Amino acid sequence: MPVMKVTSYDRVSSFMMAVVAALVISVLAVVSVWYIRRPPPPSELVPLEMLEVSGGFEDGNIDDTWDLQSPDPEDPNASLEEETEEVSIEEVLENVVELSDQATEQLEQVVADSAANSGKVGSATGTGGRPLGSGPGAGGISREQRWFIRFGRDASVDEYAKQLDFFGIELGVLQPQGQLVYVSGLSGSPRKRTADSGKGENRLYMTWQSGERRATDEELLKKAGVPTTRQSVIFHFYPPKTEQQLASLEYNYKKRAAQEIRRTYFIAQKQGSGYIFNVTRQTYLR
């Protein structure tokens, strides 16, 4: 009678099938974990043109500007009335000599006309109302007053120095003699340079309002051989590329115009081998 039993071939086949099934399950598990924990794709930022829009009043109208609208050709020195004829000083003096009483009346009239018509005939663009914002300008709040940037509290001194170098931020400290000392390359061998004044310095700069990182700046400046005190003013100078990045992040957060934003809060975070800025929140003028 034939007897059915498990042969060596069956044992090897079942073992190989089990191994293949285990490998397939392992690969699926690894792919699933990677898919769940994969980093988010980088956001596509809308490029923005860097324009200064600060100026206005806290109780102003967001649709108003300083300028006036008129169908006449635009003129930077415009007045509301037609230009009056200029009165010669010699004629006035002659009238004073001949008729003192009449000359006095004429001089008063000339002064009144000159005060009322001091500009050239023309026009400017705008509504002429009180724009919403703070300080001089076309409306809104300037970036150095609008932006608040926070660096990670848990980062070490070396990590913080790497963040500053990654974003191209240069430290500056104002000396009692009036000199401005710049320090860069903080994560390696610091590079130091001095300037007698801030003339020609057009970069965006920030100063400390709060936080614990000021003490870290003092430590980094001390490492570079720059003495500081508690009364020293420390600046962070941002290159145009980083400023453009912050402006794009600000707009892409809620797609709001800069003239409407009162405050934008950024935080520096680690991403891969580098760092990024992210917007945490915004407040608005209305």
Which residue shows structure tokens 């500056």? Answer: 172
Average pLDDT of the chain to the nearest whole number: 75
The residues spanned by each domain of the chain are 78-121, 143-284
pLDDT tens string 118-161: 444 444 455 445 555 555 555 678 888 889 998 877 778 889 99
pLDDT tens string 150-181: 887 777 888 999 999 999 999 999 887 778 89
Cβ atoms of 63 and 81 within 8 Å: the answer is: no
CA distances in angstroms from 203 to 31, 235, 266, listed in the order given: 46, 11, 18
pTM, full prediction: 0.55
Top-confidence range, 14-23, 52-61, 230-239: 14-23
Which tokens in the block code for residue 18? 């089990």
Which tokens in the block code for residue 17? 């099938």
Nearest alpha carbon to residue 161 among 223, 96, 250: 223
CA distances in angstroms from 31 to 19, 34, 40, 42, 234, listed in the order given: 18, 5, 16, 21, 49
pLDDT tens string 69-125: 555 566 655 544 444 445 455 555 555 556 555 555 555 555 455 444 444 444 445
Per-residue pLDDT at 122:
41
